[in-house]
């Protein structure tokens, strides 16, 4: 049985392996990575899908300031292991994350991803027209979702990272993984 639950520290290695398999090294070059590097996800907003033994899906949300719209969240990366795709698990993970974010009083969520996938959850490129990211982005993939009506209305300006800094000890596994890749 597949369950969706909050991410635990012991999920780190499995989550990183899943993301490496889904995106390869390109994951570290993404503009959105600039909002995540050296920071912790937003409190209580990192989730995994598990088959009871193994982490087979991951999604995390990050604290940002969305220009004039103020406090917001950035969603991503979202990934489901290749052997478990197209079974509705990505959808379950997304809905769990969106429901929790709404319950916690967050007002909006931004992401960069395929509109053809994320539109089903209500995301739209129309809501980010006045916003900019600090780096290159395909605007058709820069999407927003209002958890509260009007939260992104007229939003303009640059999106900035506001998440808590990660303790150095929690970054060691990433430095290690990156140097191993560089040496390979």
Ligand X SMILES: CC(C)(COP(=O)(O)OP(=O)(O)OC[C@H]1O[C@@H](n2cnc3c(N)ncnc32)[C@H](O)[C@@H]1OP(=O)(O)O)[C@@H](O)C(=O)NCCC(=O)NCCS
Binding site for ligand X (CB under 6 A): 22, 78-80, 85-91, 113-114, 116-117
Residue with smaller CB distance to ligand X, 96 or 177: 96
Residue with smaller CB distance to ligand X, 48 or 79: 79
| Least distance CB 174 / ligand X (angstroms) | 19
Distances (CA, A) of 152 to 48, 54, 97, 108, 119: 28, 37, 19, 7, 16
| Least distance CB 88 / ligand X (angstroms) | 4
Residue with smaller CB distance to ligand X, 22 or 104: 22
Q: Which of 60, 22, 10 is nearest to 40 (CA)?
A: 60
What are the tokens at 47? 């989730």
Residue with smaller CB distance to ligand X, 91 or 134: 91
Q: Which of 86, 147, 85, 140 is nearest to 113 (CA)?
A: 140
| CA-based R_g, the chain, Å | 16
Q: DSSP secondary-structure letter at 162? A: -
Name the residue whose CB lies closest to ligand X: 90
């Amino acid at each position: 049985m597949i369950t969706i639950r909050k991410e635990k520290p012991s999920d780190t290695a499995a989550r990183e392996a899943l993301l490496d398999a889904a995106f390869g090294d390109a994951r570290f070059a993404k503009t959105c990575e600039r909002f995540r590097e050296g920071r912790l996800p937003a409190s209580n907003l990192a989730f995994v899908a598990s088959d009871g033994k193994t982490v087979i899906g991951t999604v995390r949300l990050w604290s940002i300031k969305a220009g004039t719209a103020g406090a917001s969240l950035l969603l991503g990366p979202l990934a489901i292991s290749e052997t478990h795709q197209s079974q509705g698990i990505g959808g379950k993970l997304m809905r769990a994350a969106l429901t929790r974010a709404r319950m916690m009083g967050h007002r909006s969520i931004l992401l960069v991803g395929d509109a053809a996938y994320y539109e089903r959850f209500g995301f739209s490129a129309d809501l980010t027209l006045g916003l900019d990211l600090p780096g290159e982005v395909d605007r058709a993939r820069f999407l927003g979702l209002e958890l509260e009506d009007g939260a992104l209305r007229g939003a303009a300006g640059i999106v900035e990272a506001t998440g808590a800094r990660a303790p150095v000890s929690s970054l060691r596994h990433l430095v290690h993984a990156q140097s191993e890749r560089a040496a390979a």
